[in-house]
Structure 1
Amino acid sequence: RVLRSHLISMAATNLAARFAGLRAPPRVTRGSRSIRRTVVTVRAAARGEFASFFPDEVTALEEPAAVEMAKKARQVSVAVPGRDKPVMTSCVSSPAPKGGEDVSPFVLIHGFDSSCLEYRRLFPLLTERAEAHAVDLLGWGFTDAGDAGIGDYSPEAKRAHLYAFWKQEIGRPITLVGASLGGAASIDFATAHPECVERLVLVDAQGFIEGLGPMGMFPRPIALAGVNILKSRPLRNTANQMAYCDRGRFATEDAMRVGQLHTFQPQWADATLSFMKSDGYKVAKRVREITQKTLVMWGRQDNILDPAYAERFAEEIPDSKLVWVEQCGHVAHLEQPKFMAQTLFDFAGVEAKVAA
């Protein structure tokens, strides 16, 4: 029993450390008991402002950017070939503003065990000059596959779902942005469907770590227990702390709540376990096959993925540019969103200046 507990804890910690691409906001300290009661009343009244596919815990979010992003989220019915029923796909989308019709749409792909809320600070900046979509991958975020009879959440299934979303909702070449494990998903998609991707952006991306290690080989009861530990506050808080350079400002309890929110979805544990059993993404050999113009962005103080990977991406991708993000950990889109937005506009040839 002790060994089993140790294995579960070790495996869950390993997953979080390797693939965390968490989130963050400024914390508001609560004062008296009467204030707490007032806050609870306001939160309860606010439930109707969010889509029904969100768990009730959404009302606990405090950061304005997270609240606004959640309010804008919707589910679209996406027909995926080979599936009996459409997949209700959660996303936040914004059409091109006046003058931005000719700019390639930005499609934002979140990291491991995350959601589109990860882009809550970057997304509004991008929509000022371009069409943008933050999409929840199959089996993660708030994309509902539980009622669609989908038991396969492998990289191949995620790719097929993303392609179906692109074909239905966008239908023209995009600038694909992938953060952390979302980088591996983006490499997988860009090399499989080069006609869909005009430009590729890799943000502290995973690409050279193959598979998921021993987690994929554990018996289901042990693996499922390990997955459920990923939901725990202590583990989420640890990964949250690892994600940032300025932890005092960004690694808050509310950030942890944003990052944990999707784990309350009914299909979350089974979907995560299915992904683990598939052994995850293996794209290292495909990095050299990337044909798109590629921007590599990397936080100088990334404590989750070695910054040496940034230089390796730049060396192996034929048409690439490396931009270091100073005073930044693993999540540039959360810690330095204005710098990242301006860098993306420059990369995409968009004439726009984001206020410092």
Structure 2
Amino acid sequence: MSPSSTARSSAADLALPAEPPPAWPGEEVAVTGGRVFVRATPYAGPPEGPRERALYVHGLGGASTNWTDLAGLLALRCEGWAVDLPGFGRSQPPPRSSYSVRGHVRAVVDVLEHVAAQPGEAAGRPVHLLGNSLGGLVSLVAAARRPDLVASLTLVSPAMPVYRVPAAFSRALLLLLLPGVPTLAERRLAGVTPEQSVRGMTQMCFGEPARVPRERLEAAVEEARERAAQGWANRSLTRSMRGLITSYLRVGRANAWRMAASLRMPTLVVWGDRDRLVDPRLAPRLAAVVPGARLLVLETVGHVAMLEAPEETARAVLGLMEDAAGEARAG
């Protein structure tokens, strides 16, 4: 393991909105075996700016809307795309209802290629990749497999393989590995109202749930209602959880920790010290495994730093991008 460095906070003049902005619009994009919904955040920086590109990948049970605030702040430097993973948000289920981490990685790689191929000043260049939780693990694997597509990597509380069930989880989750059990879990989830779902996720994912803006809670409930109308919603959640746990059993070069050690692009690891879902003690370990990685640990923040602390997260990401661009020019 190599020692990690503390993340540098950019001094860029961020245009902080007075109120939480609405979700960015989007459209469907073709991927292997189907289509996914992708939201686009337009560039909002100076005309002479770098106009780089970024792709955002949400976590288990999340959606592209989890990145609305951060993508808006980073629009100072980047055009942004935020994907709904197959079976989540407004994306259709994957082919043959396969919710493996490998399947999510294939979709993210396809979207990376789509983003890089868009016309414009940054056409053909690698893309800044940011992922949270399950999306963080998926982004790490995608970056390890296709480093040519990734300019920098930001991992927000990534769901790295662990072999001890977090206290916030019931050990019954391990039963998802058994045949037939995911179907029972789907029936159980079907009895949860959108309001109960949002309340539970807020308590579990945020370090200080009382600080969540009312507008964000109302939007989350509306999104949960839309999701409840989808026949595949609960199946996507339970099968993706099963796929995540199964991925932890991979050994050799397919293990995520070994993939992390192979990364060579500029990397930032972001964690909240009140994360109840992925142990914050993994933060310095992961930052030490990835060569040259930077580390940002945020106080009183939980599992979704891009939602709880968008300004601090944005400044650390911008610092990474600025330094990466400077090193590229010097090289």
Tell me if TM exceeds 0.5. Answer: yes
Q: CA deviation at 1:163?
A: 1.6
Q: Equivalent of 1:272, from 223, 233, 237?
A: 237
Task: Please say if 1:74 is aligned against 2:20.
Answer: no
Verify the 8 A CA contact 1:114 1:262 in the aligned structure 2: no
Alignment of 1:214-293 (within 5 A): 214-219=175-180, 221-228=183-190, 233-250=195-212, 253-254=217-218, 256-257=220-221, 260=224, 261-278=226-243, 279-282=245-248, 283-293=256-266
Q: Which amino acid aligns with 2:81?
A: H
Post-superposition CA distance 1:264-314 (Å, at most 9, x none): 333323333443454454323422222222111111232332210101111
Verify the 8 A CA contact 1:97 1:131 in the aligned structure 2: no
Larger Rg belongs to: 1
Greater displacement, 232-241 / 298-307 = 232-241
Verify the 8 A CA contact 1:118 1:259 in the aligned structure 2: no
Give the Cα separation in 2 of the matches to 1:287 and 1:193.
13
Give the Cα separation in 2 of the matches to 1:94 and 1:325.
28
Q: Equivalent of 2:295, from 291, 303, 322?
A: 322
What's 1:205 paired with? 158
Post-superposition CA distance 1:69-116 (Å, at most 9, x none): 1xx322223142xx3xx4142323424744476354121111111101
Q: 1:244 to 1:188 in 2, by over 3 A?
A: same
Give the Cα separation in 1 of the matches to 2:207 and 2:228.
25
Normalised by the length of structure 1, the TM-score is 0.69
Normalised by the length of structure 2, the TM-score is 0.74
Q: Which amino acid aligns with 1:139?
A: G
Q: CA deviation at 1:202?
A: 0.9
Give the Cα separation in 2 of the matches to 1:321 and 1:263.
39
Give the Cα separation in 2 of the matches to 1:202 and 1:142.
23
Ranges in structure 1 where 5+ consecutive residues have no aligned partner: 1-62, 352-356
Verify the 8 A CA contact 1:99 1:129 in the aligned structure 2: no
Give the Cα separation in 1 of the matches to 2:150 and 2:127.
5
Verify the 8 A CA contact 1:291 1:318 in the aligned structure 2: yes
Task: Please say if 1:122 is aligned against 2:70.
Answer: yes
Post-superposition CA distance 1:154-194 (Å, at most 9, x none): 22221222222221232331111111221111111111111
Give the Cα separation in 1 of the matches to 2:197 and 2:93.
26
Verify the 8 A CA contact 1:154 1:275 in the aligned structure 2: yes
Verify the 8 A CA contact 1:245 1:301 in the aligned structure 2: yes
Q: What is the DSSP-based 3-state SS (H/G/I as helix, E as strand, rest coil) of the residue aligned with 2:148? A: coil
Q: 1:88 to 1:116 in 2, by over 3 A?
A: closer
Q: CA deviation at 1:259?
A: 6.3
Q: 1:317 to 1:259 in 2, by over 3 A?
A: farther
What's 1:59 paired with? none
Q: 1:276 to 1:321 in 2, by over 3 A?
A: closer
Q: What is the DSSP-based 3-state SS (H/G/I as helix, E as strand, rest coil) of the residue aligned with 2:66? A: helix
Give the Cα separation in 1 of the matches to 2:83 and 2:178.
29
Verify the 8 A CA contact 1:241 1:251 in the aligned structure 2: no
Q: Which amino acid aligns with 1:248?
A: A
Give the Cα separation in 2 of the matches to 1:216 and 1:350.
43
What's 2:90 paired with? 142
RMSD of aligned alpha carbons: 3.0
Percent of aligned pairs sharing the same letter: 22
Q: Which amino acid aligns with 1:214?
A: L
